[in-house]
Amino acid sequence: MLVSVTLALSATAQARGRAKQRPVAPPASAAVTVGPDSLNNVKFRNLGPSVGGGRVAAVVGVPGDRNTYYVGAAAGGVWKTTDGGDSWEAVFKDQPTASIGALALAPSNPNVVWVGTGEGYPRNDVVDVRGVFMSPDAGKSWQFMGLGDVGQISRIVIDPADPDVVFVAALGHVWAPNAERGVFRTADGGKTWHKVLFVNDTTGVSDLVMVPGNPRLLFAAMWQFVRHPWELVSGGAASGIYRSKDGGLTWERLKDGLPTGLLGR
């Protein structure tokens, strides 16, 4: 009997000792120590102009130089890197618009940079545009080259042998019909322009390509659209693919083997 009582008292004392040794949780207001692997230590680092310039609408790089690129943002101007993207410089910040739709370098002289303003996607938040600009010194300075009323510009193509021959693909105004749209061509470096392809005042150029190795052969994608604040009406009978076989002077619509009916972008 005495042994049983002694064992019971000993067990009770041990239980009380363990209860005293249990760690006490810190109050909710107490500071929490942050370890080296905590997400609280993560710091963001700017890796490109898209962080401050909005969505990217155009990118072009210098052939043979894997470190030099130009990026055109839909509402953030033109940015340039010469170290493969580790750092970027805003090279179009003093110009009258920050909306970029197209970038092109002259194949015969990559220091000649052409910029088409106006994002080539007719969203309901597009930014006002100001035509085309050219830099003769790799983005250090810019000259306005005209076409101020063509609206959004989707593409610029430059003749590989002659930097004075330039084509501009104009989508047109987003919110209203306008006749200053289509394919424009200059043969004197932008001093004068000729509208070489026009369909109607609601159909613009969504894309333009020159066949590599044959600068006389070009293809243009024409897109009929109407943008309202509440909707985008995309496609129409005027949409289609056009071809030029004489360096952009004349164009013909291609039909054989292509879809018919309502054509979109």
The encoded tokens of residue 105 equal: 């370098």
Residue 242 inside a domain? The answer is no
Residues 6+ apart with CB under 8 A from 133: 92, 95, 114, 115, 117, 142, 143, 144, 145
pLDDT at 21: 53
Residue 243 inside a domain? The answer is no
Residue 38 inside a domain? The answer is no
With DSSP H G I counted as helix, E B as strand and the rest as coil, what are the percentages for the chain, rounded to 5? 10, 35, 55
CATH number at residue 62: 2.130.10.10
Residue 67 inside a domain? The answer is yes
Domain of residue 132: give its range.
48-198
The candidate with the shortest Cα–Cα distance to 207, out of 176, 182, 225, 177, is 182
User: Which residue reads 């930014």 in tokens?
Assistant: 127
pLDDT at 41: 77
pLDDT at 4: 44
Q: Is 94 in a helix, a strand, or coil?
A: coil
Residue 126 — pLDDT band, cuts 50, 70, 90?
confident
Mean pLDDT of the chain: 86
pLDDT at 254: 96
How many structural domains does the chain have?
A: 1
> pLDDT of 149-206, one tens digit each?
999 999 999 999 999 999 999 999 999 999 999 999 999 999 999 999 999 999 999 9
Distance CA 183, CA 103 (A): 16
Q: Is 71 in a helix, a strand, or coil?
A: strand
Residue 213 inside a domain? The answer is no
Residue 91 inside a domain? The answer is yes
Residue 138 — pLDDT band, cuts 50, 70, 90?
very high
Residue 137 inside a domain? The answer is yes
State the average pLDDT over residues 118-136: 88
> pLDDT of 10-60, one tens digit each?
444 444 544 445 555 555 554 555 566 667 777 776 665 544 556 899 999
Residue 31 inside a domain? The answer is no
pLDDT at 167: 98
**Res 86 pLDDT > 50:** yes
